[in-house]
Structure formats: structure tokens, C-alpha cells
């Protein structure tokens, strides 16, 4: 009678992405916001050399800032009209909800990162070689998986709580610090900025993959008790 976890996950992810496609909040608000952040960084740093050197870090910072908005949004649609409660009343496995929401967030973040990396190439004059591109894609996939898992986990925790807009960044920023460190270093390797080579980047990707696995498992185990009120 009950649906399998993967079917629930696909249904939840499809629902979230359909909502985003129809409301166009991501395309019309979050993407322009992150583009603006990239321009503001250039104003603040005011030097082509510095920008080229720190481009990797700026892309990931802009990703984190935009992620808070995305996470907030993905759970705002759930708490509005008690949608999350209805899902639970329907007897759906919380693991399915967790995976589904993480998948939707993962795809939204990927779209965001593609735009940010293109703007880094255009605005900050970075370039990527062949092997660098392989490293970059792997790094983006691992880092984004980790961000999607922790984002869903902590978003679910603060969903419906008073003052969640301010609480979420306080909880999330320390947790995603390893992602910022490792993804930035790996991206710098991919861009070969500051004299680092592409080969040095892979150690960081290993940490990113570990992070994603740890919080993916942690989320599967704990999401049920987080959203249960």
C-alpha cells in the first residue's frame, strides 16, 4: 500500500521543481540576486588580479548566500497550508521526503552554480582547461550534494519555527564551512589560480564526497524525528 522511498522521493522532487518552474521565484529572483552578489564582490575587491585569484571562493560564497534563500523557500511551500503535515498524515516515509526535497534543492543549486561559474568566467576572467573541467564538475556535484543534504536537514528543522529566517544561517553556516573550504580549494585548482595545479584539487573533492555521504546518511536517519511534531 505504501509507496517505496524512491517513488516518494521522485514525486516530492517533481512537485518542488514544478512549483519552482511555475512560480519562477528561482529564475526571476534568486538567480538575479546571485549575479548581483558577483558584481558586488567585484566592486568591493576592485582589482582584476585579486578577482581572478579569489574567483573560486567568491562563487562558493555566492552559492551559500543564495542557498539560504532556496532552503527557506523549499520549506516555506511545505509549511504554508500545512502541506508538510498533510504529507505526514498521508503516511509517506520521511526518508522519501528528505531525499525528494534534497534532490530538488540539488537541481536548483546546480542551475545556480552553472550561472555563477559562467559569470566568474565572464566577469573575473578565469579559465578552465580539460582536466580542470573534469575536476570542477566532480567538485560541483559532490559539494552540491552535501549542501543539498544539510540544507534540507536544517531547513526541515527550522520549518514552521518562529524566527527561522535568522536562525537558518546561524545553524547552517558553521556546518557548511567544510564545504566552503574544500570546494573553494578544489575550484582554485581547477582554475589553476594562485599557482596551484589541477592535481592538488582531488584531495579536497574526497572530503566533499565524505561530507555528502555523512550528512546524507545523517539526514536519512534523523529527518523523521525532525519534522515530527
Partner 1 sequence: MTTATVNSKGVGTPTTRIYGALAIVALGWVLLGGLFFTPEDVVQGDAVRIMYVHVPTAWVAYLAFIVTGIASACWLIGKKHSLGFDRVAGASAEVGVVFMAMTLLSGSLWGRITWGTYWVWDPRLTTTAFLFVTYVGYLAVRGLGGSPEQRARRSSVIALLAVLEIPLVHFSVVLWRSLHQQASVLSPDGDIKMDGLMLFTLLFGVFGFSVLFAWLVSHRQRIMAMQDALQTNALDAAVSERLREAQV
Chain residues in the site for partner 1 (CB under 8 A): 153, 157-158, 161-163, 167, 170-171, 173-175, 177-178, 181-182, 185, 200, 203-204, 207, 210-211, 214-215, 218, 222, 225-226, 228-229
Question: In this complex, which beta carbon is closest to partner 1, that of residue 10 or of residue 169?
Answer: 169
Question: In this complex, which beta carbon is closest to partner 1, that of residue 110 or of residue 167?
Answer: 167
CB of 62 to partner 1, least distance (A): 20
Question: In this complex, which beta carbon is closest to partner 1, that of residue 38 or of residue 58?
Answer: 58
CB of 132 to partner 1, least distance (A): 18
CB of 15 to partner 1, least distance (A): 25
- Residue whose cell numbers read 568591493: 44
Question: In this complex, which beta carbon is closest to partner 1, that of residue 96 or of residue 146?
Answer: 146
Residues 146 and 213: beta-carbon distance below 8 Å: no
Is 59 buried (19+), middle (13-18) or exposed (0-12) by CB count in 10 A? buried
Question: In this complex, which beta carbon is closest to partner 1, that of residue 133 or of residue 206?
Answer: 206
- CA 136/CA 202 separation, integer angstroms: 10
- CA 207/CA 189 separation, integer angstroms: 15
- Residue whose cell numbers read 580539460: 130
Q: Where are the beta strands (DSSP E) in 28-117?
A: none
Residue 14: which residues within 8 A CB-CB, separation 6 or more?
A: none
CB of 184 to partner 1, least distance (A): 9
Is 131 buried (19+), middle (13-18) or exposed (0-12) by CB count in 10 A? middle
Amino acid at each position: 500500500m505504501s509507496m517505496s522511498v524512491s517513488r516518494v522521493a521522485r514525486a516530492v522532487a517533481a512537485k518542488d521543481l514544478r512549483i519552482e518552474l511555475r512560480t519562477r521565484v528561482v529564475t526571476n529572483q534568486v538567480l538575479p540576486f546571485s549575479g548581483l552578489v558577483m558584481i558586488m564582490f567585484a566592486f568591493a575587491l576592485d582589482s582584476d588580479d585579486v578577482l581572478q585569484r579569489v574567483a573560486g571562493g567568491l562563487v562558493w560564497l555566492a552559492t551559500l548566500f543564495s542557498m539560504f534563500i532556496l532552503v527557506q523557500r523549499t520549506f516555506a511551500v511545505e509549511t504554508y497550508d500545512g502541506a508538510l503535515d498533510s504529507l505526514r498524515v498521508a503516511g509517506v516515509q520521511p526518508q522519501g521526503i528528505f531525499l525528494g526535497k534534497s534532490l530538488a534543492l540539488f537541481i536548483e543549486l546546480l542551475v545556480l552554480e552553472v550561472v555563477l561559474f559562467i559569470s566568474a568566467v565572464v566577469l573575473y576572467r578565469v579559465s578552465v582547461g580539460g582536466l580542470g573541467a573534469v575536476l570542477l564538475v566532480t567538485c560541483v556535484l559532490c559539494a552540491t550534494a552535501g549542501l543539498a543534504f544539510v540544507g534540507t536537514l536544517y531547513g526541515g528543522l527550522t520549518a514552521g519555527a518562529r524566527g527561522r529566517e535568522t536562525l537558518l544561517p546561524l545553524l547552517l553556516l558553521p556546518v557548511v564551512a567544510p564545504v566552503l573550504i574544500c570546494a573553494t580549494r578544489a575550484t582554485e585548482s581547477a582554475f589553476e589560480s594562485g599557482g596551484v595545479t589541477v592535481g592538488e584539487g582531488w584531495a579536497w573533492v574526497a572530503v566533499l564526497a565524505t561530507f555528502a555521504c555523512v550528512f546524507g546518511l545523517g539526514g536519512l536517519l534523523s529527518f523523521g524525528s525532525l519534522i515530527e511534531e
